[in-house]
Amino acid sequence: MKHGPITLIDKELPVVAISPKGRVRDKMLSNMLEVKARQGKIIGIITEGDSDLIEVCHKTISVPFAEEHLSTMLVPLPLQLLAYYIATNKGYDVDEPRNLAKSVTVE
């Protein structure tokens, strides 16, 4: 974040911040505050009821609280849905993405 991506942030750029409760949450909060200072729109994937992050984000997607090692199974679900809805809203065919080569062949 510090060595490049931060320079791209402006009021037109949505930033997806993955920040469930855990040991790096406070570091993510610091990055999110930097994005907000540059007027970036933050879409936060957060733990349900995390009021500190709700105030920082433009929009939030909440996941239930889980121990840190289990949250890695919860967080990808809203990210997959977000990617799906962005793609379909842009008119992309999510079932046959362009430039996808089949890497396994059946004989």
Question: Which domains are seen in the chain, by residue range?
Answer: 5-89 (3.40.50.10490)
* pLDDT, tens digit, 9 for 90 and up, residues 11-54: 998 999 999 999 999 999 999 999 999 999 999 999 999 999 99
**Beta-ladder partners of 42:** 15
What does the pLDDT read at residue 102?
67
Residue 104's pLDDT band, with cuts at 50, 70 and 90, is: low
What does the pLDDT read at residue 40?
94
Alpha carbons 11 and 40: distance in angstroms, whole number: 5
Which alpha helices (H) appear in 1-107, and where do they start and end?
25-37, 51-56, 68-74, 76-89
- Comparing CA positions, the residue from 80, 10, 12, 11 lying closest to residue 45 is 80
106 pLDDT higher than 90: no
Residue 60 near residue 75 (C-beta atoms within 8 A): no
105 pLDDT higher than 70: no
* pLDDT, tens digit, 9 for 90 and up, residues 58-88: 999 999 999 988 988 999 999 999 999 999 9
- The residue type found at 43 is I
Q: Does an H or E element contain 99, and which?
A: none
Spacing of C-alpha 11 from chain mean position: 17
